């Protein structure tokens, strides 16, 4: 009978012993996560105060960052956005540190993989953000130039340029993330080449008349400009 | 004397050592003006000889690296050819200097060289005249220098008889804006030919603007505004017609607008207290006998201007809504839908457009270049409207229209002051 009890109790003892070994790790995880969340909140509050003190929102308005955020459908204040970004970045770090405290090999491997992957994510985010700003800047510069020259299809052409640039930057970001890099590069080449080929065919075959009109218009405009004697200054 | 000062160059220093001091400096900024500069130099020399025979004078050609022999022509052109027309024998010699300037290529850098030489020679009065002028006479030198030498003025702006369609950036933006801002009716604030005192030349040199657009097209508006906003004594002189070499076909309108309007807006940042305090405007003392001049016909392609304006409505819609607000953009859209014959840009709308662009520039709503260049279609719309409105008007009647626009700029200046945060 005693053997029977020991047959039941031994595994339970083993579970208890393992739990007793594991409990401090679990406790450590909860404490790390709890303290981490508190610290992240404090950091966010301090950063918000600091950004407010240096008038970061007004500076962002002037530099055009607010407009970029609005265009990306982000309606928070720029300072709040920076605060939230830092907060969530810290939360990710805190959770990874917390899970690390459990000392479970599988989780440790996962965490270290995540840590190693994080720089790629950050640089991909950076590529997308910079790409968005550069695309907006170049697109607007071309649009203003073409409108001031009186081109009829300025907006259409600028949308095409924007599309090409977005495709380029998204491909760069995906390549950075190592998401099926071969497929990304091939897909990019196909899409990019396809767009250029489509434009060439549209302009060279389907759009001969349109192309002719654009070229004729440009020639006439240059002539018109020369026929204009007006002194603007 | 800074490291990049023209005075630090040995050949310039040696020439200045020889001259030591002078009463008058006449400067000619040049760049490949071999065709016209000979006439300008002769007119300047005759003007100095005829009206200032007892003053020690220096003629300086500040050249931007001409490759067509401009400098050689300046050095060769002498006074002997027209000695017969002079009443007085010249007592003091006219020194001549032809110097390639340094720095950002442009008229402003050429002027900086002139200010430095004026400062080094401690001159009492300076005049600057464009090198492509065909209508300059010796009297221009008298009219630009005498108010400084004999009447105590520090700055003399030109007053020309121009065709009603010429100087449209001046007429529709720069003159109404500077007049409303600083309260002085200087009719040609960016005329190109000016007189100023040695004291003002020294003051200009204290400003660190030589790497900005002031070094290029922006110099004229900068000189005028700096003089007015710092309470220097300002006058204007009637010089007659301004006829110069045909314009440079490569000159880009957007670039001109960018530099001139950008310089005017920059100056609003420099002197906010000055322009916020000014109310209304007052005339400035005008020298010279005003007369009517027969002017050459000016061809204008109105259709092209209206086309670009309409393309602007389609293409720059988001930018204009952002800068002007939905209400005024609605009015612009309505304007674009009118047939060409009925196309008229209301004065109040145009005034708000200029003020809203100034405010957008102040708050840095868009990158500077994009913002100012997006004004081009609106400006062309306004110009086309002015040309059509004044088609059958005499010169003085067209001038009355400009006067109405100035009154509008003055009457809604509060819009600008209230929006300036």
Q: Which residues of A touch B192 (CB under 8 A)?
A: 233
- Mutation target to probe the A interface, by most A beta carbons within 10 A, among B132, B217, B311 is B311
Residue at token pair 């005498």:
B146
B381 close to B305: Cβ distance less than 8 angstroms: yes
Q: For chain A, which residues make up each domain, given as ranges?
A: 1-103
B238 membership: H or E segment, kind and range: strand B234-241
* Tens of pLDDT, residue by residue, chain B (421 residues): 554 677 777 878 888 888 888 999 999 998 888 888 888 999 999 999 889 988 999 999 988 888 888 888 888 887 655 555 555 555 567 788 888 887 777 788 889 999 999 999 999 999 999 988 888 999 999 999 999 999 999 999 999 988 888 888 999 999 999 999 999 999 999 988 999 999 999 999 999 888 887 777 788 999 999 999 999 999 999 999 888 776 555 567 888 899 899 999 999 999 999 999 999 999 999 998 877 777 677 778 888 899 999 999 999 998 999 899 989 999 999 999 998 888 999 999 999 999 999 999 998 888 889 999 999 999 999 999 999 999 888 888 999 999 999 999 999 999 999 999 8
Assess A62–B contact: CB distance below 8 Å, yes or no.
yes
Choose the closest CB to A229 out of B299, B304, B365: B299
Choose the closest CB to B254 out of A61, A148, A225: A148
Interchain CB distance below 8 Å, A225 and B314: no
Interchain CB distance below 8 Å, B373 and A146: no
Could you give phi then psi for residue B247, rounded to 5 degrees? -60, 160
- Mutation target to probe the A interface, by most A beta carbons within 10 A, among B130, B263, B301 is B301
Cα(A178)–Cα(A170) distance, integer angstroms:
12
Angle at B335 (CA atoms; ends B329, B336), nearest 5 degrees: 90
Q: What is the pLDDT of residues B202-259, one digit of tens each?
A: 999 999 888 887 777 788 999 999 999 999 999 999 999 888 776 555 567 888 899 8
Q: Which residues of B touch A227 (CB under 8 A)?
A: 299, 301
Tell me: pLDDT of A219 over 80. no
Q: Which residues of B touch A162 (CB under 8 A)?
A: none
Q: What is the pLDDT of residues B28-64, one digit of tens each?
A: 998 888 888 888 999 999 999 889 988 999 999 988 8
Interchain CB distance below 8 Å, A230 and B298: yes
Residue B4: CA count within 13 A, CB half-sphere: 10
Closest-CA distance, B358 to chain A, in angstroms, reads: 14
Q: Residue A29: count other Cβ atoms within 10 Å of its Cβ.
A: 19
Q: Which residues of A touch B315 (CB under 8 A)?
A: 143, 146-147, 154-155, 158
- A141 to chain B: nearest residue by CA? B370
A211 close to A166: Cβ distance less than 8 angstroms: no
Interchain CB distance below 8 Å, A145 and B316: no
Residue at token pair 């200032």:
B52
Q: What is the ipTM of this complex?
A: 0.81
Assess A156–B contact: CB distance below 8 Å, yes or no.
no
Cα(A54)–Cα(B319) distance, integer angstroms:
28
CB pairs under 8 A, 24+ apart, for A94-100?
A94/A32, A94/A33, A94/A36, A94/A37, A94/A39, A94/A40, A95/A33, A95/A36, A97/A32, A97/A36, A98/A29, A98/A30, A98/A32, A98/A33, A98/A36, A99/A29
- A145 to chain B: nearest residue by CA? B373
């Amino acid at each position: 009978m005693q053997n029977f009890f020991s047959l039941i109790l031994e595994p339970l003892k083993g579970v208890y012993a393992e739990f007793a070994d594991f409990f401090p790790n679990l406790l450590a995880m909860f404490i790390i996560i709890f303290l981490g969340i508190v610290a992240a909140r404090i950091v966010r509050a301090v950063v918000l105060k600091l950004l407010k003190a240096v008038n970061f929102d007004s500076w962002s308005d002037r530099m055009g960052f607010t407009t970029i955020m609005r265009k990306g459908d982000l309606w928070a204040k720029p300072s709040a956005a920076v605060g939230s970004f830092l907060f969530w970045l810290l939360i990710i770090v805190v959770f990874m540190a917390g899970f690390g405290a459990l000392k479970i090999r599988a989780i440790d491997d996962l965490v270290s993989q995540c840590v190693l992957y994080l720089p790629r994510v950050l640089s991909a985010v950076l590529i997308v953000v910079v790409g968005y700003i550069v695309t907006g800047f170049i697109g607007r510069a071309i649009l203003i130039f073409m409108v001031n020259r009186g081109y009829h299809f300025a907006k259409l052409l600028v949308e095409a340029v924007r599309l090409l640039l977005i495709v380029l930057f998204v491909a760069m970001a995906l390549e950075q993330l190592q998401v099926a890099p071969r497929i990304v590069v091939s897909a990019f080449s196909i899409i990019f080449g396809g767009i250029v080929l489509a434009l060439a065919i549209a302009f060279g075959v389907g759009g001969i008349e349109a192309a002719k009109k654009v070229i004729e218009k440009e020639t006439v405009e240059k002539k018109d400009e020369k026929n204009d004697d007006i002194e603007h200054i | 004397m800074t490291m990049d000062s023209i005075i630090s160059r040995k050949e310039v220093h040696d020439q200045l050592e020889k001259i030591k001091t002078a009463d008058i400096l006449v400067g000619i900024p040049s760049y490949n003006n071999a065709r016209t500069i000979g006439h300008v130099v002769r007119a300047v020399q005759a003007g100095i000889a005829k009206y200032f025979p007892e003053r020690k004078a220096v003629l300086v050609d500040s050249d931007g690296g001409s490759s067509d022999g401009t400098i050689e022509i300046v050095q060769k052109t002498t006074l002997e050819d027209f000695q017969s027309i002079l009443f007085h024998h010249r007592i003091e010699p006219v020194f001549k200097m032809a110097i390639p300037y340094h720095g950002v290529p442009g008229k402003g850098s050429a002027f900086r060289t002139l200010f430095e030489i004026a400062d080094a020679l401690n001159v009492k009065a300076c005049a600057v005249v464009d090198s492509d002028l065909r209508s300059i006479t010796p009297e221009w030198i008298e009219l630009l220098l005498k108010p400084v030498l004999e009447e105590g003025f520090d700055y003399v702006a030109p007053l020309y008889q121009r065709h009603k369609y010429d100087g449209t950036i001046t007429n529709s933006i720069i003159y109404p804006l500077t007049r409303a801002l600083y309260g002085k009716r200087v009719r040609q604030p960016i005329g190109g030919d000016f007189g100023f005192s040695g004291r003002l030349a020294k003051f200009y040199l204290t400003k660190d603007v030589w790497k900005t657009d002031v070094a290029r097209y922006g110099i004229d508006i900068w000189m005028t505004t700096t003089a007015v906003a710092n309470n220097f004594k300002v006058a204007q002189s009637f010089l007659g017609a301004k006829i110069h070499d045909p314009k440079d076909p490569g000159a880009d309108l957007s670039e001109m607008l960018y530099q001139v309007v950008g310089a005017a807006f920059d100056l609003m940042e420099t002197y906010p207290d000055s322009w916020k305090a000014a109310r209304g405007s007052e005339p400035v003392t005008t020298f010279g006998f005003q007369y009517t001049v027969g002017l050459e016909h000016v061809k204008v392609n109105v259709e092209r201007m209206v086309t670009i304006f309409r393309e602007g409505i389609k293409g720059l819609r988001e930018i204009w809504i952002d800068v002007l607000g939905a209400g005024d953009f609605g009015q612009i859209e309505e304007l674009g839908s009118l047939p060409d014959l009925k196309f008229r840009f209301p004065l109040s709308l145009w005034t708000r457009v200029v003020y809203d662009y100034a405010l957008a520039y102040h708050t840095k709503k868009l990158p500077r270049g994009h913002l100012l260049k997006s004004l081009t279609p609106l400006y062309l719309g306004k110009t086309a409207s002015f040309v059509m409105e004044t088609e059958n008007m005499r010169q003085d009647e067209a001038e009355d229209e400009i006067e109405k626009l100035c009154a509008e700029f003055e009457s809604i200046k509060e819009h600008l002051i209230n929006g300036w945060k």
